Amino acid sequence: MKAHWNDTVIAESDATVVVEGNHYFPPEAIRKAHFTPSDHRTRCPWKGEAHYFDVTVDGETNKNAAWTYPSPKEAAAEIKDHVAFWSGVTVAET
């Protein structure tokens, strides 16, 4: 799977975990130069608190376009530190 934004691959992995239709990429699969931690947080009743990243490519920033669960609840342990996308980021098979 590859995640693209602004015509740039920002994550790539053959080992994503699919939860609720979202591909969660392992932390080593993201291209960290494009990610800046955001203060935005949301809470899922069964996964826990999501922390967000802004994604920047070629000087353009997509705010809160990626999220992760650094301390998920037990039911979501398999996605700990994995990163998922939305807000215009395209995730497709390689």
Q: Which long-range contacts (CB under 8 A, 24 or more apart) does 23-31 make?
A: 23/84, 23/85, 23/91, 24/79, 24/82, 24/83, 24/84, 25/1, 25/82, 25/83, 25/84, 26/81, 26/82, 27/68, 27/81, 27/82, 27/83, 29/83, 30/3, 30/66, 30/83
User: Stretch 29-55: mean pLDDT, rounded?
Assistant: 98
Q: Is the pLDDT of residue 94 over 90?
A: no
**pLDDT at residue 51 in the model:** 98
Residue with tokens 């395209």: 90
- Structural domains in the chain plus CATH codes: 2-92 (2.170.150.40)
The percentage of residues in the chain with a pLDDT greater than 90, rounded to a whole number, is 99
Q: Is the pLDDT of residue 19 over 90?
A: yes
Task: Give tens-digit pLDDT for 41-51.
Answer: 999 999 999 99
